[in-house]
A = this chain, B = another copy of it.
Amino acid sequence: MRRKGFLIVLSGPSGAGKNSVMNAVFPTIPNLKYSVSVTTRPPRKGEVDGVDYFFRTEEEFDELIQQDKLLEYATFVGYRYGTPKDFVMEQIANGNTVIMDIDIQGASQIRQKMPEAVFVFLLPPTRAELEKRLTLRGSDAQGEIAKRLQKSWEELQHVVHYDYFIINDELSRAAEQLRNIILSESSKVSRIDLAELQSLWEGRG
């Protein structure tokens, strides 16, 4: 039976493990699509343009805003991030589930434009564990880590605006929880075509 597609918005402190959790879930759910963000941040080692992000200049980013091509955009630690609108809308129209990984500012804009989206907050088990992960990653200077930790604490206050929260104490368990949420949301009555359901059930479909 055909169901309406929907958008999953995943937020959480830098270092919470958003990418690892999403990567673990992708192979297990058909019709799950990743919304690639646009950013003015320079690529980290190993990041590929068009796969991890669309890496754009400040001028190119301004142009996307002016052409109303972004569903949301926000600034985080000096760099801008945004979500290309067309991709998300097309996938949802085709009945697919789209997942995106954005900060709380971006999530807040999405909430206003698409209140029917599903908002998930991913949290590392403790502040100490988060600090360890950020340090181990080695991609940020010490001053930047301190900034990110402070930001994380502020972000945690916004969990109340999210639908679900997941504590990433163990990757496989966190991924299973995200998977449960996506599958469960697919069973929402609000996402089915009731006329089609009744017709199928009567055997006239």
Which of A's residues lie within 8 Å of B, judged by CB? 1, 121, 123, 125-128, 153, 156, 159-160, 162-167, 177, 179-181, 183-185, 187-189, 192, 194, 197-198, 200-203
Contact = CB atoms under 8 A, between A and B. Distances in A.
B165 A202 contact: no
Given A180-B180, A181-B184, A187-B177, A201 B163 contact: no
Contact of A201 (B156, B188, B197, B202): B156
Contact of A159 (B162, B167, B194): B194
Given A159-B194, A163-B189, A126 B201 contact: yes
A13 to B, nearest CB: 10
A200 B167 CA distance: 11
Nearest to A177: B187
Given A203-B126, A203-B128, A163 B181 contact: no
Nearest to A185: B184
Give the top 10 A-B pairs by smallest Cβ distance, nearest first.
A184-B184, A180-B184, A164-B187, A180-B183, A180-B180, A181-B184, A165-B189, A162-B189, A126-B203, A177-B187
Contacts of A121: 189
